[in-house]
Amino acid sequence: MKAPPFKPPATGDMVGDYRIVRKLGDGGFGFVYEVERAGRYYALKVIRARELESWGQREINILRHVVHPNVVRFRACDRWPDPDHGYLCFVMDLVVGRTLDEWALDENPTARHVVRVLLEVARALADILVQGVLHRDLKRENILIRDLDGRPVLVDFGIGWLAGEPTITGEREPPGTD
């Protein structure tokens, strides 16, 4: 049996025990939603195609591996809508905040404040590199500034690299954002 044609979940739909609250975004690999379970809110990523599952599994492995306060935290994974043949999906902590560029436009931070935030990002990248991880898609949309404390959080490790994991692409140049 194969997965049914992909139809993304909509607001109010259930994905396992999680109720879709709203769509947060979409990209080449899938859709990200704010979801609710038992009164708590999370982020859920649904991989849009079976051909992309190796990338989704790589992202799950990275998030399970990395322990850092500036990296979104992995919670669980499953398949949707069918537990055996559905599309890969996984749950992470919901980072309530804005992208780096939204934060900069809204707050008009001082140069000193920007340098503090970017230094924290650079230190986080150095720390996760020691743990054997490269993000490879670092851009303003993948750095969220958490409303709670103003600290940056790295998200979307979809094309990341984890030491010891097999190569997914046959390309000479690894995937990434210029």
Active site residues: 137
Q: CA angle, 95 as apex, 92 and 98 as ends, to 5°?
A: 140
Angle between helices 111-130 and 100-107 (to 10 degrees): 160
Work out the number of other CB atoms within 10 angstroms of the CB of residue 154.
Answer: 23
- Strand ranges, E, within 27-175: 30-37, 40-47, 74-80, 87-93, 97-99, 133-134, 143-146, 152-154, 161-162
Helix (H, G, I), strand (E, B) or coil at 122: helix
Cα 157-45-154 angle, rounded to 5 deg: 35
Map residue 31 onto helix, strand or coil.
strand
